[in-house]
Amino acid sequence: MKHSLLLIATAFASVAPWLPARAEIVNVSTPNTSLILDAEKGGDLKILHYGDRLSEADMALLKEAGAINRSAYPVYGIFPQAEAAMSVTHADGNMTTAVEVTGVTSATAPDGATVTTVAMRDKVYPFDLNVNYRTYPGEDVIETWVDVKNNEKGTVKLNRFMSGYLPVRYGDVWLSQLYGTWANEGRLSQTPLNHGVRMIKNKDGVRNSHTAHAEIMLSLDGKPQENTGRTIGAALEYSGNYKLFIDTDDTDYHHFFAGINEENSTYNLKKGESFVTPPLALTYSDEGLSGVSRNFHRWGRNHRLHAGNKERKVLLNSWEGVYFDIDEPGMAGMMKDIADMGGELFVMDDGWFGDKYPRDNDSSSLGDWVVDTDKLPNGIQGLLDTAKANGIKFGIWIEPEMTNSVSELYEKHPEYIIKAANRPATEGRGGTQLVLDLANPKVQDIVFTVVDTLMRKYPDIDYIKWDANAPIMDHGSQYLTADNQSHLYIDYHKGFETVLNRIREAHPDVTIQACASGGGRANWGVLPWFDEFWTSDNNDALQRIYMQWGTSYFFPAIAMGSHISASPNHQTFRRIPVKFRADVAMSGRLGLELQPKNMTDEEKGIVKQAISDYKSIRPIVQFGDIYRLVSPYDGKGIASLMYVTPEKDDAVFYWWKTETFMNQQLPRVVMAGLDPEKTYKVTELNRIDNEPLSFEGKSFTGKYLMSNGLEIPLTHKVDYHKNTDYASRILRLTAE
């Protein structure tokens, strides 16, 4: 079904007599959803419905059925008891705002997206507020944001500036959200919404997805289910500080707001200036949590993620293999090893740079992006030549937003760091790390030049790992004026976006990973410029099941870096067999992060087979539709999910045992997303058993697999001395 956006004016009143004569009903439709608005000229913008796509007949009876009929973007000042999406102080000190609709326009962009704008203006002041809605052909996601313009005689203070608001009918509504910390990101929390306020926020300043995420799901039919139940998803597309909150008051609604965190960020809008909020992406599905995920994944790959429809390479990253001990022979050896195992890319991590201050640990040299020729006598070009000789690509690590107090950059330009006036700078990682002030255009030039110089001098660089290992540690800008210090958090990310736009205009083809002390930048605010994010610095396969499960709620596998690490693991010290590590990593963008020369020949053989098998299913994993089947958070002893092609002619099924007890009983997993009329041949990938599974090579109908599943053995049939307490399976289901 084609994208549709209808603007139905006065004539609609004859179909729906309850509407005011001047009503203008705005129907922002996607293939399966409708957002219905009442944009009566001279009145407040009202939301009437958000959810399943409505027919015109159903729209005509919204009032009789019980339309929402609440402000679509509430502003502060008149009846100020309720929460508001926007609060301003006008140039004369008046803190009340009352807006009315002045018109509705619609325009189609070159990419096919349609933007509907409802223009509003304060009834007294020349203060303009536009609420925007964007849809894309074939996608069930609606983006909303606001832009305001100050036409008053003096400065207007923006005290709160949410991107969007959505009233959700009170009932048995559950909230699914992500929380965590460093090395434990993307954890899932699911709780019912009760009276009071639930708030999710970030104040890091640089990274925003370690401790919380700017995305939520609301299950409208009770406890969340993966593939059934009415579910709303929301994702704020912003790289900086955010605030999402749900106010359940004495009305019949849960009031959901999302936008930039306004704490200590009052924005002074001068006469003639405009302010634009980041978009809030909304979606709805009656196919549960996984249905919402599928909507976000497709929209993200097609319209938000950089190069979202380009396959990602299998890589080896040097970090956990050698840490800072970079040298030319070591890099050459790792390149040969990953090439021999079938990998396609080698990424040299931290420790390769520094002249006056060599980067031997994390206490110096950031900002001095000069090759350490003691470690790499033939420089980056020598590494590129070695990679080419091995038939693979080469990538490199940088951290361009940061410097150290022990660096040539800081010695020359101490004024470029974020620092409060009249106070010493607070230093972070390594006791010396500092954050550069991206509000400053000169700093923006420096950060752009780091990437631009690398790429122009070494155009064969295929991949950049862009790290950010410190938050804003002092609220202070040496660039911003004294009266605009509250702009720091916002202007930092405006500058960040400016730099990224310049980089992508100059270098659109290089793959860039968003790393920020691990998973600190897993958000849709950065992904238009980044091809993927680093999910976590913790590569422990068992813990990764939990982190990647939560992360998959909003982000597709193609964007989720997932690596096979060493055993014992460097973070948890858990000993996990390489088969299990590979089976977990293969559910995301597969990579390795270890020292291959420390692997046994048998381990190398298993990894080589895993890489080969992953390449065969890569299009399904990276571009397929996700169906989560059994959650690790449900405590059933297993976790299981699958990816299915849109045509439903190919699928990959994952099964991991998450705990082991004697005589344990585990549930049989029923599959999802297949065509019930098709027949699927089953093939196990990464097989280590001495004999194949009983259903290997057999064919079953989609109906059978979705009604009954297959009986998965709890252990592997291997030689006695190879038995472990871990078990995992990957099955490919190919339609015949």
> Quick one: average pLDDT of 56-79?
95
Strands 461-466, 511-514: pairing is parallel
- For the chain, the domains span 4-304, 315-623, 627-735
* In the chain, % of residues over pLDDT 90: 96
Q: Amino acid letter at 6?
A: L
Q: What share of the chain is helix, strand, coil (3-state, %, to 5)?
A: 25, 30, 45
pLDDT in tens, 565-609: 999 999 999 999 999 999 999 999 999 999 999 999 999 999 999
Q: How far apart are CA 329 and CA 322, in angstroms?
A: 12
Q: Band of the pLDDT at 12, cuts 50, 70, 90? A: very low
Which residue has better confidence, 16 or 108?
Answer: 108
**Cβ pair 487, 260 in contact under 8 A:** no
Q: What is the pLDDT of residue 187?
A: 98
Q: What is the pLDDT of residue 3?
A: 34
> Quick one: average pLDDT of 672-678?
98
Q: What is the pLDDT of residue 365?
A: 98
> Quick one: average pLDDT of 255-282?
98
CATH class of this structure's domain 4-304: mainly beta
CA-based nearest residue to 532, from 549, 512, 508, 502: 512
pLDDT in tens, 207-246: 999 999 999 999 999 999 999 999 999 999 999 999 999 9
Per-residue pLDDT for 527 more than 70?
yes
DSSP string for residues in 352-396: SB-SSS--SSTTS-TT---B-TTT-TTHHHHHHHHHHHTT-EEEE
Per-residue pLDDT for 383 more than 50?
yes
Other beta carbons within 10 Å of 445: 12
Q: Band of the pLDDT at 119, cuts 50, 70, 90? A: very high
CATH class of this structure's domain 627-735: mainly beta
Q: Can you tell me whether residue 700 is helix, strand or coil?
A: strand
Q: Is 307 left (phi over 0), alpha (psi -120 to 50) or beta?
A: left
Q: Band of the pLDDT at 16, cuts 50, 70, 90? A: very low
CATH class of this structure's domain 315-623: alpha beta
Q: How far apart are CA 240 and CA 255, in angstroms?
A: 23
Taken in order 731, 732, 733, 736, is the CA torsion positive or negative? negative
Which secondary structure element, helix H or strand E, spans residue 656, and what is its range?
strand 650-657
CA-based nearest residue to 220, from 160, 171, 278, 282: 171
Tell me what the pLDDT averaged over the chain comes to: 96
> Quick one: average pLDDT of 93-107?
97
> Quick one: average pLDDT of 39-68?
95
Per-residue pLDDT for 7 more than 80?
no
Q: How far apart are CA 20 and CA 39, in angstroms?
A: 11
pTM over cut 0.85: yes
* In the chain, % of residues over pLDDT 70: 97
Which residues are marked as active site?
A: 467, 537
Q: How far apart are CA 16 and CA 12, in angstroms?
A: 6
Q: What is the pLDDT of residue 6?
A: 34
Per-residue pLDDT for 40 more than 90?
yes
Q: What is the pLDDT of residue 23?
A: 66
Per-residue pLDDT for 17 more than 70?
no
> Quick one: average pLDDT of 321-334?
98
